Chains A and B, each alone.
Chain A
Amino acid sequence: AQSVTQLDSQVPVFEEAPVELRCNYSSSVSVYLFWYVQYPNQGLQLLLKYLSGSTLVKGINGFEAEFNKSQTSFHLRKPSVHISDTAEYFCAVSPTGGFKTIFGAGTRLFVKA
């Protein structure tokens, strides 16, 4: 079985500051890793994914994430946030040979002017 822990429920940050949203996972099998963003009253949009290869993954909107196998982490980072980045961010894992995607509880990023 897999589980995902997002260590911060809310992250307030000032505009143009860097941000890191933390994600740890647990799994007994190989997994794919994802970050999704959800804007108010909308569905989820894929930000980036780790499948294999380079542990640093770049996504849309200037976000990137680093896969750390030894620490079973997949933290999301952005060097300079904008007001428009205010949203809910979800980390998710999916077994490479399976079908089920497990989501974390989400981190609300709030960017202040």
Chain B
Amino acid sequence: ETGVTQSPTHLIKTRGQQVTLRCSSQSGHNTVSWYQQALGQGPQFIFQYYREEENGRGNFPPRFSGLQFPNYSSELNVNALELDDSALYLCASSGAGTGYHNEQFFGPGTRLTVL
């Protein structure tokens, strides 16, 4: 059973640019969540995808968007980057339905720096 992987590990962008971060979920997990972790803070929920549909969103603007694919991969897209978008972005996969209890398996994260 493979774990959750994310790419790239690090990324540097300039303000106003667009970025795509990628995640490969644990096999068999049909739910993926994305989190933003600013330096010194806990992860903040961005949104969740379940079977390729957005299942819920946190307090993030529409320039944060996502995609989930049938092969357990997913993307986080951020348009019009701002300096405050600099953070560690984490994806987490989980199963759904009884027996999973919202337990999530996290990837190592992508460190995004916006200059």
Q: Which A residues are within 8 Å of any B CB, using their own CB?
A: 4, 32, 34, 36, 41-46, 49, 51, 90, 92, 94, 96, 98-106
Interface residues of B in 65-115 (CB under 8 A from A): 90, 92, 101-109
Q: B25 at the A/B interface (Cβ < 8 Å)? A: no
Q: B6 to nearest A CB, angstroms?
A: 8
Expressed in whole angstroms, the minimum distance between the Cβ of A111 and any Cβ of chain B is: 19
A29: min CB distance to chain B, Å: 13
**Interface pair B102/A32, CB less than 8 Å apart:** yes
Residue B26 at the chain A interface, CB threshold 8 Å: no
CB of A51 within 8 A of CB of B101, answer yes
Partner of B101, one of A45, A49, A92, A103: A49
Provide the bound-state CA to CA distance between A90 and B106, in Å: 13
With A43-B90, A43-B108 known as contacts, the answer to whether A99 contacts B102 (CB < 8 A) is yes
A-B contacts counted at CB < 8 A amount to 60
How many Å lie between the Cα of A32 and that of B98 in the bound state? 13
Question: B58 within 8 Å of A by Cβ?
Answer: yes
| A19 to B56 alpha-carbon distance, docked (Å) | 36
What's the Cα separation between A67 and B105 when bound, in Å?
A: 22
Q: How far is the CA of A32 from the CA of B94 in the complex (A)?
A: 14
User: Which chain B residues have a beta carbon within 8 Å of chain A's beta carbons?
Assistant: 4, 6, 31, 33, 35, 40-45, 48, 50, 55-56, 58, 90, 92, 101-109
Partner of B109, one of A43, A99, A102, A105: A43
Nearest CB of chain B from residue A104's CB, rounded to whole Å: 5
Partner of A106 from the list B41, B45, B55, B92 (CB cut-off 8 Å) is: B41
User: In chain A, what residue has the closest Cβ to B108?
Assistant: A43
Query: With a CB–CB cut-off of 8 A, which chain A residues contact B107?
Result: 43
Closest to A103 in B: B42
- Using A32-B101, A49-B101 as known contacts, say yes or no to A101 and B106 having CB atoms under 8 A apart: no
Q: In the complex where A49-B101, A100-B48 touch, is A43 in contact with B42 (Cβ < 8 A)?
A: no
Identify 26 residue pairs between A and B in the complex whose beta-carbon atoms are under 8 Å apart, listed by A's number: A36-B106, A41-B108, A42-B108, A42-B109, A43-B6, A43-B106, A43-B107, A43-B108, A43-B109, A44-B90, A46-B105, A49-B103, A90-B42, A96-B101, A96-B102, A99-B48, A99-B50, A99-B102, A100-B48, A100-B58, A101-B33, A101-B102, A101-B104, A102-B45, A104-B42, A105-B42
